[in-house]
A and B are shown apart, each in its own frame.
Chain A
Amino acid sequence: MVDLLLLAATAACVCGMTWLALAMEPHWKQVRGGVPPARTVRALRVLGASSLFASLLFCLAADHASMASLVWVMLLAGAALAVAFTLSWRPRLLAPLIAWA
């Protein structure tokens, strides 16, 4: 159960970071090409931020609050690295996460 919650926290963190990255023009261009519409950028930011928040909630459900805060901060770093490397290596891998936009 704890492992599942942590898995969910990791997934939410990676999705959140991806959405926040794709709200930036250069990264959107890498994945989709062109310029993202302003409305989409706003949606991506809200989605990204809430996904990171959801990740924190999953962490808090899994562990003692002090432990959860550390796990979350470290997950943010790990997810940001993963997204940055994916963007420079195979940016199109992230395309499914903006299939709706």
Chain B
Amino acid sequence: MFKSFRLSMTWVHTWFGLVLGFVLMAAFFFGALSVFDREIDRWAVPQSRFEPQPMPSFDRMLRPVFERMQPSADSIERMRERVNGPLPERFDTPIRWGAYTTHRDPVLGLFAGYEVPNAKEPETSIWANRTIDPRTGAALPDDRLKIGSRFFYPLHYSLTLHWMNLGYWIVGLASLVMLVALISGVVMHRKIFREFFTFRPWRNIQRGTLDLHNLTGVVALPFHFFFAFTGLVIFAGIYFPVGHTQLEPLHELHEKHDAENTGLPHDRAGVPAPLASVDAMVAEAQRRWATRGMAGEVGFLAVQHVGDANGYVSVYRAGTDRIALVGEGIHFKASTGELLREDPPRTAVDGINTFLTGLHLQHFRHWLLRWLYVLGGLAGCVCIATGFIFFVEKRKRQHAQAGGQGARAVDALAATTVTGMLIATLGILIANRLLPESLPAGWPGRGDVERYVFWGVWLLAMAHAFWRSAPVAAGRIAPAWREQCWAIAGLAPAAVLLNWATTGDHLFKTLAEPYWPVAGLDLSLLVGGLLAAVAARRLRRKEQNDDVRLPAAGIVGEAEVRHG
């Protein structure tokens, strides 16, 4: 089919990269934002703007909260079709209580799963979630969207497309293609070391774009490779304790495996039993960690089979001081506090797995590495975006002469995924600050409205990109890019100003305190807006160059398009 191996690699790189590059762009960008997901949560939920807190007392604070928790009306409604007969008034048999926090969380996330009587399928459970202020135990409003950890983060691995888990499959396929694109890219390149530091923007657009594509691809090659690869490893179903809170669809399978391997009871005994002091169990777990030379805070605390003789309490350590995601779980009999099991030291294979998953999920405390991850993610975005632009630049003249619309369509899609995605991101932040505290009756939840704004703005940006990309079909640059850059340059500082106006947290205050979660996001927004303005001005100049260079060709091209 192809004359040489290299040409076949070029074909694979170009076409697979093009098709799944749009997905990869979202995975890389929202992945980069997820590095600071908790900080974005602080910005989006002003009630939670205080310092991170350790796990509070279970006996005094968490237990009463858990005992009052019930599934939301929404999830009960969704459960209705999965049971025979009516649903109970209250769900009285908790399968599991869990509390999860990290060293960057001021608020504490709680979840509870309940047995569903008369369910059509066995092991059906219904879940309740609550976020509390661990200093007082007071609940935060349920409809506040944690934009970082509950929207950008899942968007990055599932596109929030839950139907038949389609999103997971698409992103998984895209990461596989990323690996293929990296390998084929290396094969195509040929001058990896000779052009390692090469970026020549003063040459033509094609050359500069390809240089930037190669540069961002090659220098961050280990990052790109390991993140695409570990992303696949994580969804291959490696067990780790936060699976219950963050990768919910996988957790039931994990539980069964776990019960088989550990001897911790998988089912209820059916005999009621009281709950001993969990605080004492936590203290004992911390003492045992300290004797292993790993003194630390609790990250994840769970009670399984609540109120049953088979109940047990699992205490996991927060992994802030190393890459590998190891919970060092210690399990106690819930009714007596007797030690049931300590997770054994990892085998070599487990060690590699936990290192790989930990490398991607980054529970560690290391601000420099976090920023370097953001840099790596953004380098990936630049690499993908320049890939699109190079594709268009290489073809648009030929397409213009042949009267084709291919380059135009790709250019419009590229603008949608690059600048359009940024506008949508700013859109959800602005909606978050503009929407009233409580919405009128009959409206969807506040968080849902924020999500709709995000997708709506993105669709608008897409429509704009297709509308304003006609000149590409004439071999010119699309005004869509410049106009969307101006939109970013306007919206980014607007988000900062709205944050100030609605919360009083302006940059002088957040920098003076300092409160980095909010100051950091505000500063990043301002820098992003500034860069967008610079880009818009440069694009203007390019368009003017096109006007000088191709006045006649442009008209001919457009006429041809109209007739074609």
Contacts and interface: CB of A to CB of B under 8 A. Distances in A.
A70, A74, A83: most-surrounded residue (chain B CB, <10 A): A70
Contacts, number: 72
A81 B364 contact: no
A93 to B, nearest CB: 14
A24 B191 CA distance: 13
Contact of A74 (B200, B223, B322, B355): B223
Interface string A60-71: 000110110011
Contacts of A85: 199
A73 interface: yes
B199 A71 contact: no
Nearest to B359: A70
B215 A84 contact: yes
Nearest to A21: B197
A67 B323 contact: yes
A87 interface: yes
A26 B198 CA distance: 9
Interface stretch (B168-176, B237-245, B373-381): B373-381
B322 A77 contact: no
Given A73-B223, A80-B196, A80-B219, A64 B321 contact: yes
A87 B199 CA distance: 8
Contacts of A67: 322-323, 364, 366, 369
Contacts of B355: 66
B530 interface: no
Interface string B185-205: 000000000101111111000
B373 A81 contact: no
Interface in A80-101: 80-81, 83-85, 87-88
A64 B319 CA distance: 13
Nearest to B215: A84
A2 B454 CA distance: 40
Interface in B338-368: 355, 359, 364, 366, 368
Nearest to B224: A77
Given A66-B322, A66-B355, A77-B222, A87 B376 contact: no
Nearest to A30: B197
Contact of A84 (B198, B322, B373): B198
B368 A6 contact: yes
Contact of A80 (B197, B200, B368): B197
B220 interface: yes
A61 to B, nearest CB: 14
B197 A77 contact: no
A75 interface: yes
Contacts of A84: 196-199, 215, 219
A45 B372 CA distance: 25
A70 B368 CA distance: 11
Given A63-B366, A87-B197, A81 B379 contact: yes
Interface string A21-49: 10010110000000000000000000000
Nearest to B365: A67
Contacts of B366: 63, 67, 71
Interface residues of A, number: 26
Contacts of A77: 219-220, 222-223, 372, 375-376, 379
A52 B215 CA distance: 19
B159 interface: no
A17 B218 CA distance: 14
Contact of A78 (B197, B198, B200, B375): B375
A68 B164 CA distance: 40
Q: How large is the interface on B (under 10, 10 to 19, 20 to 34, 35 or more residues)?
A: 20 to 34
Contact of A66 (B197, B202, B324, B379): B324
B368 A71 contact: yes
B322 A64 contact: yes
B216 interface: yes
Contact of A81 (B194, B198, B216): B216
B527 to A, nearest CB: 15
B230 to A, nearest CB: 12
Nearest to A85: B199
A10 B198 CA distance: 21
A66 B220 CA distance: 19
A75 B376 CA distance: 10
A73 B322 CA distance: 16
B296 to A, nearest CB: 13
B372 A74 contact: yes
B199 A88 contact: yes
A71 B376 contact: no
Contacts of A27: 197
Contact of A75 (B196, B322, B372): B372
Contacts of A71: 366, 368-369, 372
A75 B222 CA distance: 12
Nearest to B194: A24
A26, A67, A71: most-surrounded residue (chain B CB, <10 A): A67
A80 B222 CA distance: 13
Nearest to B369: A71
Contacts of B202: 88
Contacts of B368: 6, 10, 71
Contacts of A10: 368
A98 to B, nearest CB: 15
A27 B196 CA distance: 11
Contacts of A87: 197, 199
Interface of B: 194, 196-202, 215-216, 219-220, 222-223, 321-324, 355, 359, 364, 366, 368-369, 372-373, 375-376, 379
8 contacts: A70-B359, A73-B223, A74-B376, A75-B372, A77-B223, A80-B219, A81-B220, A84-B199
Interface of A: 6, 10, 17, 21, 24, 26-27, 63-64, 66-67, 70-71, 73-78, 80-81, 83-85, 87-88
Given A66-B324, A87-B199, 14 more contacts: A63-B366, A66-B322, A66-B323, A67-B322, A73-B223, A74-B372, A74-B373, A77-B222, A78-B375, A81-B215, A81-B216, A84-B199, A88-B201, A88-B202
